[in-house]
């Protein structure tokens, strides 16, 4: 089975691109969704213990948590030390199930793939990109988004050019989603060929 890491900076069209893999019947795990679930489950007690007052009605309140983090890198590190091992556990469970189901390809949709070193856990990487002007327009049209928030998120993410330089595949969503969907189709065909070769060698 080929494990594909899917990543891209904020507003690049990563979620839409992940959806094209789902449409094609390929199992996709979204790291953000895993974290959301953990914030209602296994991460609640350890995070509350590290950052008292962030839990409301048994769920980690994201706005309280972001205030507790308050841009301090040591606080982010403390949170990541709690959450990342739990995310890895869920990732391993997902991949095990994909293998059991006989999948040729499994996709891990991880926004901070390179930043967290998760690129070492995948066979190849797909980076979703678009023109910076399109990215900015998309992000700033989101509800509750401000220029300051956008800049803060960008600071925590590896620059787009560096991501593309480290990618095995690149999908540009700036030319419309039909073109992006077609590009994903070509990538799936290439990965299926790779998976077949891998099976043949075993």
Q: Please write the tens of the pLDDT for every residue from 119-130.
A: 999 999 999 999
Q: What is the pLDDT of residue 44?
A: 97
pLDDT in tens, 19-71: 999 999 999 999 999 999 999 999 999 999 999 999 999 999 999 998 898 86
pTM comes to: 0.89
Whether the pLDDT of residue 199 is over 80: the answer is: no
Q: What is the pLDDT of residue 41?
A: 95
Please give the C-alpha separations between residue 133 and each of 11, 25, 111, 139, 149, in angstroms, as whole numbers.
10, 32, 20, 10, 17
Q: Using the structure block, give the residue that is written with the tokens 């075993």.
A: 202
**Average pLDDT, integer, range 166-195:** 95
Task: Answer whether 110's CB lies under 8 Å from 5's CB.
Answer: yes
> Which residues lie closer than 8 Å to 43 by C-beta, 6 or more apart?
35, 60, 82, 83, 86
The CATH classification number of 1-27+106-202 equals: 3.40.50.300
Q: What is the pLDDT of residue 202?
A: 64
- Cα angle vertex 31, ends 105, 18, to 5°? 50
What's the chain's Rg over C-alpha atoms? 18
Long-range CB contacts (within 8 A, 24+) of 150-159 = 150/10, 152/71, 153/10, 154/9, 154/10, 156/112, 156/115, 157/9, 157/10, 157/111, 157/112, 157/115, 158/9, 158/114, 158/115
Distance linking the first and last C-alpha atoms of the chain: 11
For residue 120 the two structure tokens come to: 């070492």
Whether the pLDDT of residue 135 is over 90: the answer is: yes
Q: At what angle do helices 14-23 and 177-201 cross, to 10 degrees?
A: 60
Q: DSSP of 64-128, one letter per residue?
A: HHHHHHTT-HHHHHHHHHHHHHHHHHHHHHHHHHHHHTT-SEEEEE-TTTTTTTGGGGSSEEEEE
Domain boundaries along the sequence of the chain: 1-27+106-202, 28-102
Residue 29, H or E segment: strand 28-30
Beta bridge partners of 3: 106
The band of 144, judged by pLDDT with boundaries at 50, 70 and 90, is confident
Q: How many whole angstroms from its chain centre is CA 114?
A: 10
């Amino acid at each position: 089975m080929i494990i594909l890491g899917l990543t891209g900076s904020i507003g690049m069209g990563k979620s839409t691109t992940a959806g094209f893999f789902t449409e094609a019947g390929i199992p996709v795990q979204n790291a953000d969704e895993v974290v959301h679930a953990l914030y209602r489950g296994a991460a609640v007690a350890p995070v509350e213990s590290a950052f008292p007052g962030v839990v409301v009605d048994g769920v980690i309140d994201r706005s309280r948590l972001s205030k507790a983090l308050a841009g301090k890198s040591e606080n982010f590190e403390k949170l990541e030390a709690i959450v990342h091992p739990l995310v890895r556990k869920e990732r391993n469970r997902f991949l095990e199930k994909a293998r059991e189901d006989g999948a040729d390809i499994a996709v891990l949709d991880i926004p901070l793939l390179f930043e967290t070193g998760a690129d070492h856990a995948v066979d190849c990487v797909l980076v979703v990109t678009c023109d910076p002007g399109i990215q900015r327009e998309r992000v700033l049209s989101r509800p509750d988004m401000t220029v300051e928030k956008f800049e803060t998120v960008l600071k925590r993410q590896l620059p787009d050019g560096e991501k593309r330089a480290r990618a095995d595949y690149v999908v540009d969503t700036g030319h419309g989603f039909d073109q992006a969907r077609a590009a994903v189709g070509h990538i799936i065909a290439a990965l299926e060929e790779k998976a077949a070769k891998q099976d043949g060698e075993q």
